[in-house]
Amino acid sequence: MAEIRDGLGLDRNDLPEYTTIYKSFDRLKMWVWRALLRVSAQQHPQSGHAALDSPFFDRRSASSYYRQRSGSDVQILKATILTDRGSLTVLDVHISARWKHDTKTGPQVVRRNADDLQSVAADKAFHNWVTKYEFYALGIEPLILQRGLRSLTLGHNALIRAKGYSQRWMAETSYSTTKRSHGDAVRALGWYRQFREIVLMFAISNIEPLCEPL
């Protein structure tokens, strides 16, 4: 991508061949791709206030022959994404083919980034008392809505919205923008490459605003 190269000050002749980049999806471990994502987010000012959400990505565009040969019947991938509510950059991603519950994947993503977080906003799907207790133990304020219509629950949710939960919709807008720019379907064949493809997609989205002309 010419815009990305210009933004990073890279010359096309200095870049490796496409096959070298493609094989790096196999060679580099997932933590390396997460580190790349984190570095791309750190190019923007961080607020310390994040949002959790779980968008989905279609993997049916991969060869149906390959999916049958590999014995995979998973058609949708679930990504649990941690986004800075100030800069709208994606800080971390957890991808699952078996759709683990949000109360399992949410704390896992937050735990990896706890040192840099002050609060995390999330919808009712992420709510349980174990999750909230863990967030408090990490020194993070959980802005998580509760289920129910009792007056105590409604009052709690109103307080959560007043503390900053309402900014969560901006994170959802950033996911939508990424999908419009790069698509909502993965193109790699292997599931592990598809996981890396999603992480790389958000890393590019973090960098793209830096490449826009002033």
- What are the residue ranges spanned by the domains of the chain? 2-211
Structure tokens that stand for 46 in this block: 């961080």
Domain boundaries 2-211, corresponding CATH code: 3.30.420.10
Task: Report pLDDT for 37.
Answer: 93
Report yes or no: 7 and 57 within 8 Å, Cβ to Cβ: no
Handedness of CA 92, 98, 99, 102 (dihedral sign): negative
Which of 105, 12, 66, 97 has its CA nearest to residue 187? 66
Task: Report pLDDT for 164.
Answer: 82
* Residue 138, SS3 per DSSP: coil
Mean pLDDT by 10 residues, the chain (214 residues): 71 75 76 91 91 86 57 77 92 87 91 93 90 92 87 86 82 82 81 86 87 61
Task: Label residue 151 exposed, middle or buried (CB < 10 Å: 0-12, 13-18, 19+).
Answer: exposed
pTM of the prediction? 0.82
Task: Report pLDDT for 117.
Answer: 94
Structure tokens that stand for 52 in this block: 């959790």
Handedness of CA 39, 189, 19, 17 (dihedral sign): negative
Task: Report pLDDT for 18.
Answer: 67
Q: How many residues does the chain have?
A: 214
Structure tokens that stand for 50 in this block: 């994040």
Q: How many CB atoms lie within 10 A of CB 98?
A: 7
The residues, any chain, with a CB within 8 Å of residue 63's CB and separated by 6 or more, are 189
Report yes or no: 129 and 107 within 8 Å, Cβ to Cβ: no
